[in-house]
Amino acid sequence: MVHNVLYWITFWFFHIIMRLFCKQVHISGVENLQNIKGPLIIASNHRGPYDGIWIWYYLALMNRTKVISIYFVTGARFFKQPIVGWYLRQMKCFPVDRGMGIQVLDPMVTALKNCEMVGIFPEGKMQKHPDHKGDAKRGVGYLIWKSQAPVLPVYINYRKPWKYIPIWYLTLHIGKIKSYDTIKSEDEIQKVADDVLESIYKLDKK
């Protein structure tokens, strides 16, 4: 009940923000978000602190007749803030921190096996410069290996031209769902993670 109330409050809040302060410069593939369901891994590059919000917003926008749950991997430090931490938990975000080991993602594997959707940033940390591309971490490969869930690649970028004016120029490209049925062992995790990240950045070139 609390989740549903917060869900719609959050949606309409960001719906207003998007209409007033966000210029949607390059948007493509959002139709790929319609009627999607789990198990599904939504994998995106990581440009800034609002990436998960923008992705979640479009997911909710394209499925406005129902509540769409997505478990997003979020830095553990944010959960230490009383109000923010409570909100993130209610919105089904999942805390992870660097150095915790890849098995920290096991609850996400369980969610995928329960036909849920999860969101993850394969680079692990933000790449704030638009020309920078990080290395893929093993996490997304681990999720695929353990759950055998398909992946939806997402490329996101946005810039704020003026420091003191809250206007964003947003680029968002949603790819097509891709399966990795051939992954058989832990030795293939990094290779698959690299392929997922490559498929994300290829969306910016289309």
pLDDT one-digit tens code per residue, 112-128: 999 999 999 999 887 77
Identify the DSSP state of 178: B
pLDDT one-digit tens code per residue, 71-107: 888 888 888 888 988 998 888 888 877 666 788 889 8
**Residue 130 scores a pLDDT above 70:** no
For 161-170, give one letter per residue: b (16+ CB within 10 A) or e.
Answer: eeeeeeebeb
Nearest to 197 by CA among 131, 119, 129, 135: 135
Q: What global pTM score does this model have? A: 0.90
Domain 2-205 sits in CATH 3.40.50.300 = no
Q: Comparing 165 with 33, which gets the higher pLDDT?
A: 33
Query: What mean pLDDT do residues 55-63 have?
Result: 93
Residue spans of the domains in the chain: they are 2-205
Cα-Cα-Cα-Cα dihedral sign, residues 95, 101, 104, 106: positive
What is d(CA 146, CA 106) in angstroms, rounded to the nearest whole number?
A: 9
Residue 92 identity: K
With beta carbons less than 8 A apart as the criterion, state whether 134 and 123 touch.
Answer: yes
What CA–CA distances, in Å, run from 135 to 18, 49, 63, 129, 148?
31, 19, 32, 14, 22
